[in-house]
Structure 1
Amino acid sequence: MSEQSPLELAGDDPFGPHNLPYGVFTTADEPERRRLGVRIGNHVLDAGAAAAALGSPYTALLGGPGLDPLLAAGRTAWRDVRRALTGWVSVPAHRAVIEPLLIPLPAVTMRLPYQVGDYVDFYASEHHATNVGRIFRPDGEPLTPNWKHLPIGYHGRSGTVVVSGTDVVRPRGQRKAPADPVPVFGPSVKLDIEAEVGFVVGVPSERGTPVPLADFRDHVFGLSLLNDWSARDLQAWEYVPLGPFLGKSFATSVSAWVTPLEALDDARCAPPARDVALLPYLDDAGEDEPGGFDLRISVAVNGHVIAEPPFATMYWTAAQQLAHMTVNGASLRTGDLFGSGTVSGPERHQRGSLLELTWNGRDPLALPEGERAFLEDGDEVTMTAWAPGPGGVRVGLGEVTGRVVPSA
């Protein structure tokens, strides 16, 4: 009896031909050779080798050590390459060529799939922003006056964006509790996570030329899960008046897999109703497709699920974030990454950060290994997600995981 082909997947496999996320991998026998791969089931297809073996015109886009050439190639190329890849893994006539180029996932090491350009992080969940406001301003309005007029964000540090599986060293810095007379220096004692979605820019834009809402899909290639690690005690002391700095810049983890937007067409959804009129450049009421994405995220600490944030509840869409990010004339570069901001829903189990889940440590989580107000050394955080796909099948998003290790 012949062995079943790794291309013969169950119809409900979340990483079937309807998905095909991109990543970069190395193998034990060639640890320095980075190759662009496409995930199919529990295997990685060496996309460059497949293109070369089949005489594809896309060999130059797929045969390099990263995703950057494809990112820069534009929407027509994205569509055509995806169509070709779908045929390579779906048409039986290609199996003799494709099967030898499939590598089991446990046999590869995943790398950061693109060169990160600029990194911007937003604050787009009304539920998250309201919770944070109630924690830190219990006697005032939870939302700041500007919150429903523009997507609030800050520029982060692209050099510390790391791929899933990279250990996160507990950051050190200044912190000062309200009752302390002076600040102290040392490891953060309030290390937190933020469940987010990161959007990856492909086609750049010219400086001085804003990117309108309607051009979102011409510039953004795809998305992946993102964990914006946060040292809440460092952040609380430093952020007035200029915002996040050392409390955020030590690490941002992203999934090793980038899901193309085209794989998520069935997951598009309308954002929540807005109760404040938007300025024209942010007003998406007349756009051809809804700006939201129905992504179901799960957050686990040491294998135990602690939250299930729904991305469909995000007040500001990625298209609005991109429009606002460039409205002043700031340009885009290939590989730019912008984070959605913490994803939180209206229910307690839908909160995307420990700050919210424990109400700044007041209500610790009960885990099998003990209570957690914030993360302890050795804790491993894993985020997974899926989205509705064609015909009811799920589209899986690559996980993002990271383990906390002690300060150096």
Structure 2
Amino acid sequence: MTQTDATHDPSLRSWVASANGHPDFPIQNLPLGIFSHGAHHPRAGVAIGDEILDLPAVLEAELLSGEAAQAVEATADGTLNGLMALGAGPRRALRTQLSALLAADAVPYPGLLRAAADCTMHRPARIGDYTDFFVGIHHATNTGRFFRPDNPLLPNYKYVPIGYHGRASSVRVTGAPVVRPSGQRKPASETEPSFGPCRNLDYELEMGVWIGPGNDLGEPIPVGEAASHIAGFCLLNDWSARDIQGWEYQPLGPFLAKSFLSTISPWVVTPEALAPYRIPQPPRPNGDPAPLPYLHDVADQAAGAFEIELEVTIRTATMREKGLPPHRLGLSTTRHMYWTVAQMVAHHSSNGCDLNPGDLLGTGTLSAPEASGYGSLLEVSQAGRQPVTLPSGETRRFLEDGDEIALIGHARREGFATIGFGPCLGIVEPARYNPAP
């Protein structure tokens, strides 16, 4: 597991003034992303306070050497895929040299910074494949109760890290419009399905996991080596059309109800940045089966989980017009993952499936056990039966056009600086495809 070092020192300060005390991007974070500024093509950068450090410009100024320079050279195509493929060594070297370059006692290079507000963020990598897991046990239990009140969890849940293959082409970074999807719906009150705009649009509070070095087809990744195949983390909102999903998911699972859009935060928070926030995997409740041997590793159980706070807020069009702040819908944490990220990677590749640099994994919705920490409106509104009342007086069963949903993530631990993931936001727009009956 990645260890803490001088780059995590909470007393570190930067000559980039906005980084000092920044809620997301102090010098202790240094997440990687792809941005464009002015006439420049997309290029690699690092978030530092309210600025973006232009990595190709840093390389051109000959301020990087060795593996750190190699890491930036690998981003020449305007993606992080090549850097992700290099693994932890060059990534760690880049972090170490950038920390020294940006430290308060270093020579300032303001010409290497771009104001984040003036930049456009892009997907960090070419996403070849996207897989969504279901490791949030409280969400799995809550949703299962709607269909199987007496037996909400299916027998395989505590043995298998459940997942399904999603659609990589529709993954977008924060701010992309959330166009209400159309599809077939058949509520229990209707005898035949109809086609039209989704009636039960929902969000899902998830973490995203970026794959670094991959594996060859037919060569599984052992759980004890899985951490070395992880390049970083982001926030992920896997928007869901619940009514479309309820009709189409039998017998093969999610399809069009999920593939219309998934929103990610644009910055890749590295495993090195998250080293101080690793925790033991919470013990399983008495009576739960132990993981099968191919999913069990002592080091992973000791430090394979994370302490990351996850929040979801809503701000309707009316709330924005009235100047009302966002309203919290749920506050949860990654402690509620029944399986670790390493177990997800190990299981994904256990049949010989090859993972590649830039592949994206979703954790599934990470709800807390209490209602204040639910990670979807499906849970908050009890499948629409108990609408939530907002500060504006409006109520919501599911999302309406104009609603703005934001996911917020912070890693906190006493004795270390708090770091964040940046924005993961989307505003619902009306359906664009609604053919006449």
Normalising by the residue count of structure 2, what TM-score does the alignment of the two structures yield? 0.88
When structure 1 is superposed on structure 2, of 11-20 and 75-84 the one drifting more is: 11-20
Contact 1:212/1:323 (8 A) holds in 2: yes
The partner residue of 2:355 within 332, 352, 364 is 332
Give the partner amino acid of 2:204: E
Q: Deviations over 1:147-197 (max 9, x none)?
A: 000100000000011111100110000010112110010000000000000
Query: Per the alignment, do residues 266 and 133 of structure 1 end up closer, same or farther by CA in structure 2, a change over 3 Å counting?
Result: same
Q: Deviations over 1:299-335 (max 9, x none)?
A: 0111211111211121111111111100000001111
1:308 aligns with 2:321: no
1:381 aligns with 2:394: no
1:53 aligns with 2:61: yes
1:94 aligns with 2:107: yes
Query: Per the alignment, do residues 388 and 239 of structure 1 end up closer, same or farther by CA in structure 2, a change over 3 Å counting?
Result: same
| Secondary structure of the corresponding residue to residue 142 of structure 1 | coil
| Secondary structure of the corresponding residue to residue 49 of structure 1 | helix
Q: Deviations over 1:53-105 (max 9, x none)?
A: 0352414135541212211111111111111111111163431xx21111122
When structure 1 is superposed on structure 2, of 201-210 and 53-62 the one drifting more is: 53-62
Counting strand residues as a fraction of each chain, which structure ranks higher? 1
1:35 aligns with 2:43: yes
When structure 1 is superposed on structure 2, of 361-370 and 269-278 the one drifting more is: 269-278
Contact 2:50/2:116 (8 A) holds in 1: yes
The partner residue of 2:153 within 116, 131, 143 is 143
When structure 1 is superposed on structure 2, of 379-388 and 279-288 the one drifting more is: 279-288
Aligned twin of 2:141: 130
Q: How does 1:320-399 map to 2 (within 5 A)?
A: 320-369=343-392, 370-388=394-412, 391-399=415-423
Query: Per the alignment, do residues 347 and 123 of structure 1 end up closer, same or farther by CA in structure 2, a change over 3 Å counting?
Result: same
Contact 2:300/2:342 (8 A) holds in 1: no
Contact 2:331/2:374 (8 A) holds in 1: yes
1:160 aligns with 2:160: no
Contact 1:70/1:78 (8 A) holds in 2: yes
Q: How does 1:193-342 map to 2 (within 5 A)?
A: 193-274=203-284, 275-285=288-298, 287=300, 289-302=302-315, 303-342=326-365
Give the partner amino acid of 1:356: E
Q: Deviations over 1:218-274 (max 9, x none)?
A: 111100000000000000000011000011010011111110011011111122222
Aligned residues: 400
The partner residue of 1:24 within 26, 34, 42 is 34
Identity %: 42
Q: Supply the distance in 1 between the matched residues of 2:237 and 2:189 (Cα, whole angstroms).
A: 31
Q: Supply the distance in 1 between the matched residues of 2:63 and 2:411 (Cα, whole angstroms).
A: 33
The partner residue of 1:81 within 81, 94, 100 is 94
Give the partner amino acid of 1:407: A
TM superposition shift of 1:285? 3.9
Q: Supply the distance in 2 between the matched residues of 1:182 and 1:12 (Cα, whole angstroms).
A: 54
Contact 2:311/2:409 (8 A) holds in 1: yes
Contact 2:330/2:374 (8 A) holds in 1: yes
Query: Per the alignment, do residues 390 and 218 of structure 1 end up closer, same or farther by CA in structure 2, a change over 3 Å counting?
Result: farther
Contact 1:51/1:63 (8 A) holds in 2: no
Aligned twin of 1:405: 429
Q: Supply the distance in 1 between the matched residues of 2:123 and 2:300 (Cα, whole angstroms).
A: 33
RMSD: 1.7
Contact 1:38/1:45 (8 A) holds in 2: yes
Contact 2:142/2:152 (8 A) holds in 1: yes
Query: Per the alignment, do residues 389 and 37 of structure 1 end up closer, same or farther by CA in structure 2, a change over 3 Å counting?
Result: farther
TM superposition shift of 1:120? 0.3
